[in-house]
Chain A
Amino acid sequence: MEPTRNSHATLVDLLDRVLDKGLVIHADLIISLAGVPLIGVNLRTALAGMETMIKYGMMQDWDERTRAWESEHRKIKKASVTSGERVFLEMLGAYYYSGGIYTTWRMGRIYLTDKRLILYHPTFEEVLFEMQLENIKGLTLEREEHANGMKRENLCILLEAGTIARLHALDTLRLKEALEQRLLSLGLSWQEIPKLSLIDERAPSFLGNGEEVVCQGRMWHSMTCQAPAAPANQTWKAGQLYLTNRRLCWWYDFEGKIGFDISLEQIAASTLEEKAQGDTLSKKESLDVIYDSERGRRVASFSGDNLESWKITLNRTTLRIERAPTGDVETCPICEKESLITELSGELCRHCGWIAPKPKSQQRLPALQETPSCER
């Protein structure tokens, strides 16, 4: 085995020796405070870029690593920018994180480089959020009202994948302008997206073609825990309930996907019940959806706000669906939205008001007598 000494990997070994060892002189005429470390442990760790070494692994070329190390330390523990990337804008900012029990704004430093937009947390050296500029499909400023009545501006960015990122910065307007300038100089195009406040980050991932969200809300769903030996345990899990024009589904936050999914036709009824909460004596109101499945009639329980209005909406939907057998749905030629065929041809399009012309076979003869517009 050959010994090594001239790579970044051995910088720590060097520092250990040069800073701590060597001939030590105790004398009045020595002004380096003998024996006392002039350079503390933390500084030494920073000098060696210990964390960097750990993250990137020990075995790398001196050149490559010096460059990355230097660009990191020149900004004193700022985001790691790969060599060749220029930073155009840097400011304090936050990213809206919605997942888990509550949603929150995660604070950090926003960096706009020539390739991407990053939110970096210097203390934990964590990249909280990152996107490639070429994935940006839309931008818009949104006004958000705070609980204390203050309004503030957020920058909403629509990404390639259909997801939306919400950012807030010390100067949100300046960030948007700088971002637009960057996109222009890169030759990328984007759109101004209208009315984003109702759009949800999760929706695009599970909605089908032509499917729309009718209403949604934060809901806890009662799931049965799979415990083979023990009796079935009821626990409430956090998530988001969606009623679309096709189904009722519930997004499970913890797993980041749909945890409950039934088509509207399966719903038999919805009621409000009072349930005992686990072992505690307190009772909680819940929305029970009774539905048909392969295994027979089942009940799904949900809890949250506005249960009453959910119940009413669900029951209205159920009644409407029960009126028409499945398959009798047609697309309105004007607004391209679906409705029951009986509605479209019998009355009007629920969405845009278009009235279907009556087919000839339904008209009484002679045709001339039926044209009201000719009447004077």
Chain B
Amino acid sequence: MVVDIDEKSLKHGVLGLVIAIVEIIRDALKLQAMKRMESGNLTEEEMERLGEALMDLDTAIEEIKEEQGIIESVKSVRDGLDEIVDDVLDRMINPERWKEESEQWA
């Protein structure tokens, strides 16, 4: 019997990736928003609107994750990304290790 590739399951995995990226962009947005707030160039009303918009974004992301059952998937994607970044930094700090490892596989 053949296992059919379920388009819906593929979508599920891709959705996890997409939401992980959305979260990262959301974090960048928050960072920028905070910078503007600190700079003192925003009025109270502007800050209020910004805050509400960001809050809605947070809620929307959480709802999607819960409804799609991808909370763990998204976390896993982000943890994986963190590990990769950590690894690259390690190699930058210790280029010797990178060199030796590449020689090992040469």
Main DSSP-derived SS at the B contact region = helix
Q: Decide if B38 is an interface residue (CB 8 Å cutoff).
A: no
Q: Decide if A97 is an interface residue (CB 8 Å cutoff).
A: yes
Question: Is the Cβ of A124 less than 8 Å from the Cβ of B76?
Answer: yes
Question: Is the Cβ of A35 less than 8 Å from the Cβ of B68?
Answer: no
On chain B, the residues within 8 Å of A126 by CB distance are: 72
Report which of A100, A101, A104 forms a contact with B9, defined as CB distance below 8 A.
A104
| A125-155 to B contact mask, C-beta < 8 Å, 1/0 | 0100000000000000000001000101000
Question: Is the Cβ of B3 less than 8 Å from the Cβ of A36?
Answer: no
**A window 63-110: CB within 8 A of B:** 92, 94, 97, 99-107
On chain B, the residues within 8 Å of A99 by CB distance are: 67, 69
Compute how far the CA of A126 lies from the CA of B69 in the bound complex, rounded to whole angstroms. 12
Which residue of chain A lies nearest to B70 when distances are taken between CB atoms in the complex? A100
Compute how far the CA of A152 lies from the CA of B76 in the bound complex, rounded to whole angstroms. 32
On chain B, the residues within 8 Å of A262 by CB distance are: none
Q: Decide if B1 is an interface residue (CB 8 Å cutoff).
A: yes
On chain B, the residues within 8 Å of A104 by CB distance are: 6, 8-9, 11-12
Question: Is the Cβ of A100 less than 8 Å from the Cβ of B72?
Answer: no
Question: Is the Cβ of A253 less than 8 Å from the Cβ of B67?
Answer: yes
On chain A, the residues within 8 Å of B68 by CB distance are: 100-101
Interface size on B, residues (CB 8 A): 23
Q: Decide if B100 is an interface residue (CB 8 Å cutoff).
A: yes
Question: Is the Cβ of B104 less than 8 Å from the Cβ of A106?
Answer: no
Compute how far the CA of A94 lies from the CA of B66 in the bound complex, rounded to whole angstroms. 20
> Shortest beta-carbon distance, B73 to chain A, in Å?
7
Q: Decide if A62 is an interface residue (CB 8 Å cutoff).
A: no
On chain A, the residues within 8 Å of B27 by CB distance are: none
Question: Is the Cβ of B67 less than 8 Å from the Cβ of A106?
Answer: no
**A window 153-192: CB within 8 A of B:** 170-172
| B71-82 to A contact mask, C-beta < 8 Å, 1/0 | 011001000000
Q: Decide if A332 is an interface residue (CB 8 Å cutoff).
A: no
**A window 248-276: CB within 8 A of B:** 253-254
Question: Is the Cβ of A238 less than 8 Å from the Cβ of B67?
Answer: yes
Q: Decide if B63 is an interface residue (CB 8 Å cutoff).
A: yes
Interface size on A, residues (CB 8 A): 28
Question: Is the Cβ of A124 less than 8 Å from the Cβ of B72?
Answer: yes
> Shortest beta-carbon distance, B3 to chain A, in Å?
6
On chain B, the residues within 8 Å of A36 by CB distance are: 97, 100-101, 103-104
Q: Decide if A199 is an interface residue (CB 8 Å cutoff).
A: no
Question: Is the Cβ of A254 less than 8 Å from the Cβ of B67?
Answer: yes
Q: Decide if B44 is an interface residue (CB 8 Å cutoff).
A: no
Can you list 28 contacts pairing A with B, beta carbon distance less than 8 Å? A33-B104, A35-B96, A36-B97, A36-B100, A36-B101, A36-B103, A37-B101, A97-B69, A99-B69, A100-B68, A101-B64, A101-B67, A102-B8, A104-B6, A104-B8, A104-B9, A104-B12, A105-B6, A105-B8, A106-B9, A107-B6, A107-B9, A123-B76, A124-B73, A170-B1, A170-B3, A238-B67, A254-B66
Task: Report which B residues bind A (CB closer than 8 A).
Answer: 1, 3-4, 6, 8-9, 11-12, 63-64, 66-69, 72-73, 76, 96-97, 100-101, 103-104
Identify the 9 closest CB pairs spanning chains A and B, nearest first: A100-B67, A104-B8, A36-B100, A105-B6, A107-B9, A100-B68, A171-B1, A36-B104, A170-B3
